[in-house]
Amino acid sequence: MKLIFIRHGKTTGDVEDRYGGDYDDHLTDKGRTQAQEALEELKTKNIRLIISSPLLRARETAEILAAGRCPVIVEPNFKERNQYGIVTGRIKEEVAMETPELAEALRDYLNTIEGAESYQDFRNRIVSAVNNLADKEQDICRAIIWHGGPMRVLFRDILKIGEIGKIGDLAWVEIEGDGKNFKIIDCRRI
C-alpha cells in the first residue's frame, strides 16, 4: 500500500495570522501556485485517488492536484483539530491583547479550551481514519490532503518518529506499508 499525505497550501488565515484549526479559509494565490508546483513534483507518483479533508483549503488543494486526472473524495475524519475553540478564526494578536492567559494556554497542544476538541479525541480520530485506509484499495497510490495537526499525529503516533519541526505549505510524505508497518519513501518541506 502506498499513501502520500499532503498538507494544504498557504491560506488567507495564515496571511491574516488567525487561529486556524477548523476555521474554514481559502487558499491564497500563493497557495494555489504552491499546489500547482506540487502537482509537478508529484507527477511521477501515479496517484489514482485523492482523499481530502472537508475544509476549503484542503479541498481547493485537492482539486488542483487532481487536475481532472483522478477522483477526489472527502473524508470528514481528516479535518483539522478544533484546537482553538472559542477563538477559532480570530486574529492572534487581538486575542493576546484581550486575554493573554488564554493565548499562552493555546501554545500547548495538550490544553483544551472551551469549545475545542481534546488532543486525545483528535488523535484517536486521525489514527482510526488512517488505519481505515489500510482496509481499502491497497493496490493503488492514494493521496490524502489534510493539515499540519494530522501530519503531526502521523509522525508522532502512527510512524512513531516523534516530534517534527516546521511543516511547510504543501509539505508531503510518501509512505509504504502493509497496514501495520510503514516506512517513509520520500518527503518534502518537513
In CATH, what class is 2-18+27-81+118-188? alpha beta
pTM: 0.94
Count of Cβ atoms closer than 10 Å to residue 109 Cβ = 12
Largest CA distance in the chain: 52
pLDDT digits 0-9 by tens, 36-55: 999 999 999 999 999 999 99
Structural domain boundaries of the chain? 2-18+27-81+118-188
pLDDT digits 0-9 by tens, 57-79: 999 999 999 998 999 999 999 99
Phi and psi torsions of 115, nearest 5°: 85, 0
Rounded distance, CA 74 to CA 79, Å?
10
Query: What's residue 2's pLDDT?
Result: 92
pLDDT digits 0-9 by tens, 148-173: 999 999 999 999 999 998 999 999 99
